Amino acid sequence: MWCWWKYKCSIAFGEQHQNIANVIKIGVQLAIDYRGTIGVVARNDQGEFMGGCFRTIPSVSQVIIAEALAVREGMELAAKQGWCHLDVESDSQTLIKAIVGEFTVPLEIDVVVEDIRTQGRLLDATFRYVRRGANNVAHLIAH
């Protein structure tokens, strides 16, 4: 919410929008066995570790549900830390397409995707697909 307020004030008072160099990259990953584990890693534009978390989730019926929960966890971490201008990465191409509106949102994750979209607007987030190997640190945290 604070990010949104600062952004709106900067527009109202004619200030420049924050430089793109201040983007925080949020990488998410999960591991599934008899339960799921979500890993989230945040890095600044210099590649420096800013924070992270992992959390075990109860067994879920579909991987896309766990992927959506992982992205939402990353968004919640960013909101708690007061980070704006996010680049959120996931190796779930289906989920990213659902978030950005290129794909019909599966009913199972409709509410979670709407949460992600709302937080994304407030935190000035972009969402993009990355290959699974591109996010090794989050992958290690999830395992």
**59-88 per-position pLDDT tens digit:** 777 888 889 999 999 999 999 999 999 999
Phi/psi for 36 (5° steps) reads -115, 150
Give every strand in the sheet of 36-43, ordered side by side: 49-57, 36-43, 24-32, 86-90, 125-129
Tally of CA atoms within 13 A in the half-sphere of 76 that contains its CB:
14
| E-state strands within 78-124 | 86-90
CA distances (Å), origin 137, targets 11, 39, 44, 53, 77: 36, 9, 14, 11, 16
Tracing tokens 């929008």 back to the chain, one arrives at 17
Q: At what angle do helices 63-81 and 110-122 cross, to 10 degrees?
A: 30
What SS3 class is residue 44? coil
Sorted by where each begins, the domain ranges of the chain are 40-142
Eight-class DSSP state of 22: G
Which pTM value belongs to this model?
Answer: 0.77
Q: Does domain 40-142 have CATH number 3.40.640.10?
A: no
- Can you read off the two tokens belonging to residue 96? 């990213």
- Chain segment 2-61, per-residue pLDDT in tens: 454 454 444 444 444 444 458 999 999 887 766 788 889 999 989 899 999 988 888 777
Amino acid identity at 1: M
What local confidence, expressed as pLDDT, does residue 1 receive?
Answer: 47
Rg, Å, the chain Cα set: 15
